[in-house]
């Protein structure tokens, strides 16, 4: 290999390093709001192409040096990267987390660990920087894999967003590990000679052309992502036009208690509201993607509000619809490791009942994912307040099941849910039945975490819900 080849290899490795660090910083800064970046798809495509080009350069280097164990480990490493990229694009298009997503993360971390081991226990290990790279990759991979195995054993941990943080950490650490490859290529360049062979010149020329295109594209995508992220950080309550149109029927409000604790929420009043009549109250708890302070995203990360806002349903089922927004790094309740806001939800409900003619015998609580957890928690700790509950793709504490016996429940879950395991709903339903209750349960064998479409096409759900009344 020529000095020019190693110069290009250093350039691409630095590019790959900077892209990885940049996207990790953006993701850490924005948290779950990173999914709202309009430039996310283009940045994901660019990042994948950088991974692909870098791996191809690395494979060419391994092949030239006849490091066959690392070479074949690198070839195998390509497959899970491609698979994970396809799943990511599918998620960005549908916001449906595939049941194969977390297994793909296992594969990527596992293959990265294998790649590291191949650099230690092969001829490549004779080169100091490659051996150090291998040790770094193997140790970090094993640590991350341990975190994932531990986290996947708990539905609470999966729904809390912890695994996403682990994945971000893995991406950040992997980027740091590229420094060893840069140092190795730098050392190779110092010892390399010149080669006038046309084949080598053509390869280096192609790499230089691709490098120029990558630099221009990287600057364009990077500036776009940076500007958008900076604006979002400076405007935490911003609601983009498309979302503003969706939440328009809901009044934006904030509840603040005597201790200064606040809760943002949206409230939709009954159509043709008459203050002399009493109306039921539907409490809808959003999933983890709705956390924040914009007082809007919680609407699109729930299901029943999207159904009840339809004009025909507002006519048929007049009710107050209360959709609170959980702050970042908080939980609806039942997790001692997080800041819980269930008490604020309950306080706000009581405050609304003093302000509006709400029928205290017809309070209905529903929630999706993290909100499903919150729904199970509320009827387990304050069952006397609710006339019915619809937990969707959630989980709860089976020990509280005896408290739920007198609360009509209709739970929903997808059998292929890769985010909150279906066992979360199954165990709660079984526990309530053992305690003497008679809950309804619908499980979709071919569905994953997103159940908006099948639940929307279950019209009898609303008839069942609004027929419930606490005596």
Q: Which of the four pLDDT bands, split at 50, 70 and 90, describes residue 244?
A: low
Is the separation of the CB atoms in 106 and 80 below 8 Å? no
Residue 366 CA from chain centroid, whole number: 21
CA-based Rg of the chain, rounded to a whole angstrom? 27
Average pLDDT, the chain: 85
For residues 290 and 410, the model is more confident at: 410
Give the DSSP H/E element, type plus range, for residue 317: none
Element (H, E) at 262: strand 262-268
Confidence check: pLDDT of 143 > 90: no
Reply yes or no on whether the pLDDT at 454 is more than 90: yes
Most confident listed range (37-41, 118-122, 162-166)? 118-122
Token digits for 334?
A: 């039942």
* Residues 180 and 286 grouped into a single domain: no
Mean pLDDT along residues 9-26? 88
pLDDT of residue 438: 94
Question: By percentage, how much of the chain surpasses pLDDT 90?
Answer: 45
In terms of Cα–Cα distance, which of 66, 49, 191 is closest to 123?
66
Q: How confident is the model at residue 229 (pLDDT cuts 50, 70, 90)?
A: confident
Tell me the range of 90-99, 103-112, 148-157, 457-466 where mean pLDDT is highest: 457-466
Domain finish residue from 217, 234, 251:
234
Same domain, 173 and 305: no
Eight-class DSSP state of 98: -
- Predicted pLDDT at 100: 73
pLDDT digits (tens, 9 = 90+) for 261-270: 889 999 999 9
**Tell me, what's the pLDDT at 233?**
76
CB 367 within 8 A of CB 302: yes
Q: Rounded to an integer, what distance in angstroms lies between the CA atom of residue 31 and that of residue 464?
A: 37
Structure tokens at 242: 């498309």
Q: Are strands 251-256 and 262-268 parallel, antiparallel or unpaired?
A: antiparallel
Over 90: is that where the pLDDT of 3 sits?
no
Q: Is 235 exposed, middle or buried (0-12, 13-18, 19+ CB in 10 A)?
A: exposed
Number of independent structural domains in the chain: 2
For 389, the token pair is 């509950």
* Helix, strand or coil, per DSSP, at residue 48: helix
Which residue matches tokens 């029943």? 304
Residue 317: pLDDT over 90: yes
- From 181, 213, 234, the end of a domain falls on 234
> Which residue, 177, 201, 234, sits at the end of a domain?
234
307 & 349 share domain: yes
Distance CA 366, CA 371 (A): 7
* Residue 368 DSSP one-character state: E
Q: Flag whether pLDDT at 157 surpasses 70.
A: no
Least confident of 56-70, 89-103, 106-120, 361-375: 89-103
How confident is the model at residue 165, as a pLDDT? 65
> Is residue 160's pLDDT more than 60?
no
Q: Does position 136 have pLDDT exceeding 80, yes or no? A: yes
- 226 and 253 fall within a common domain: no
Residue 438 CB-density burial (10 A; 0-12 exposed, 13-18 middle, 19+ buried): exposed
Taking CA atoms, 132 is separated from 115, 140, 250, 311, 436, in Å, by: 12, 12, 57, 64, 61
Instruction: Residue 351: give its domain's CATH number.
Output: 3.40.50.1820
Q: Which residues contact 276 (CB under 8 A, 6 or more apart)?
A: 357
Which carries the bigger pLDDT value, residue 3 or residue 67?
A: 67
* Helices vs. strands in the chain: H and E counts, helices first: 17, 10
Angle at 103 between CA 99 and CA 104, to 5 degrees: 105
Model pLDDT, residue 207: 76
Tell me the three state secondary structure of residue 390. Answer: strand
Range(s) of the domain holding residue 287 = 241-467
The pLDDT assigned to 358 comes to 95
Q: CB count, 10 Å around CB of 427?
A: 17
Chain length of the chain: 471
**What is the pLDDT averaged over residues 201-217?**
77
Question: 168 and 130, same structural domain?
Answer: yes
What band does 448 get if pLDDT is binned at 50, 70 and 90? confident
Take residue 261 and report the two structure tokens written for it: 């604790």
Are residues 58 and 140 located together in one domain of the fold?
A: yes
Phi, psi of 249, rounded to the nearest 5 degrees:
-70, -10
Asked whether residue 99 falls in the same domain as residue 124, the answer is yes
* 219 and 283 assigned to the same domain: no
Q: What per-residue confidence (pLDDT) applies to 270?
A: 94
254 with 345, same domain: the answer is: yes
Whether residues 245 and 228 share a domain: the answer is no
pLDDT band at 385 (very low <50, low <70, confident <90, very high): very high
Are both 215 and 245 inside the same structural domain?
no
Mean pLDDT on 64-73: 93
Among the listed residues 166, 164, 161, 163, the one whose alpha carbon sits nearest the alpha carbon of residue 373:
161
pLDDT at 240 over 70: no
pLDDT at residue 62, as a whole number: 94
Mark whether 47 and 169 lie in a shared domain: yes
Q: What is the mean pLDDT of residues 290-315?
A: 88
pLDDT-derived band at 4 (thresholds 50, 70, 90) equals confident
pLDDT for residue 320 is more than 90: yes
The token duo for 392 is 């969707």
Neighbours of 182 (CB within 10 A): 18
Residues 330 and 339 sit within 8 Å (Cβ to Cβ): yes
């Amino acid at each position: 290999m020529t000095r020019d080849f190693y110069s290009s290899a250093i350039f691409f490795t630095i590019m790959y390093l900077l892209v990885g660090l940049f996207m990790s910083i953006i993701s850490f800064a924005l948290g779950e709001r990173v999914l709202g970046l309009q430039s996310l798809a283009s940045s994901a495509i660019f990042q994948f192409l950088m991974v692909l080009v870098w791996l191809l350069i690395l494979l060419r280097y391994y092949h030239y040096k006849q490091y066959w164990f690392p070479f074949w480990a690198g070839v195998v490493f390509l497959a899970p990267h491609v698979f994970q990229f396809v799943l990511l694009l599918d998620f960005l298009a549908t916001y449906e987390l595939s049941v194969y997503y977390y297994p793909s993360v296992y594969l990527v971390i596992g293959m990265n660990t294998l790649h590291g081991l191949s650099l230690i226990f092969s001829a490549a290990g004779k080169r100091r920087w490659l051996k150090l790279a291998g040790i770094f990759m193997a140790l970090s991979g094993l640590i991350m894999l341990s975190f994932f195995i531990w986290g996947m054993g708990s539905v609470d941990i999966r729904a809390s967003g912890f695994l996403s943080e682990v994945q971000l950490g893995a991406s950040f650490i992997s980027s740091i590990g590229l420094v060893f490859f840069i140092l190795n290529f730098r050392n190779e360049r110092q010892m390399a000679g010149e080669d006038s062979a046309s084949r080598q010149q053509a390869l280096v020329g192609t790499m230089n052309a691709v490098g120029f295109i990558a630099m221009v594209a990287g600057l364009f995508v990077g500036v776009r992502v940076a500007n958008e992220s900076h604006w979002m950080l400076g405007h935490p309550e911003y609601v983009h036009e498309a979302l503003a149109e969706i939440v328009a029927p809901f009044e934006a409000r904030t509840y603040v208690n005597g201790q200064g604790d606040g809760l943002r929420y949206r409230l939709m009043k009954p159509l043709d509201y008459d203050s002399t009549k009493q109306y039921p109250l539907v409490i809808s708890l959003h999933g983890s993607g709705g956390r924040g302070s914009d007082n809007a995203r919680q609407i699109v990360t729930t299901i029943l509000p999207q159904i009840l806002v339809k004009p025909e349903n507002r006519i048929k089922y007049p009710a107050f619809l209360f959709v609170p927004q959980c702050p970042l790094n908080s939980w609806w309740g039942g997790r001692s490791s997080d800041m819980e806001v269930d008490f604020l939800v309950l306080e706000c409900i009581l405050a609304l009942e003093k302000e509006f003619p709400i029928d205290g015998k017809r309070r209905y609580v529903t929630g999706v994912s993290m909100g499903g957890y919150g729904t199970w928690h509320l009827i387990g700790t304050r069952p006397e307040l609710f006339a019915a509950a619809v937990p969707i793709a959630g989980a709860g504490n089976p020990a509280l099941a005896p408290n739920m016996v007198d609360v009509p429940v209709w739970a929903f879950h997808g059998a292929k849910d890769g985010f909150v395991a279906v066992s979360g709903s199954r165990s709660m339903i079984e526990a309530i039945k053992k305690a003497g209750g008679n809950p309804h349960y619908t499980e979709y064998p071919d569905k994953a975490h997103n159940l908006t479409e099948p639940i929307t096409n279950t019209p009898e759900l609303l008839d069942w819900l609004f027929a419930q009344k606490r005596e």
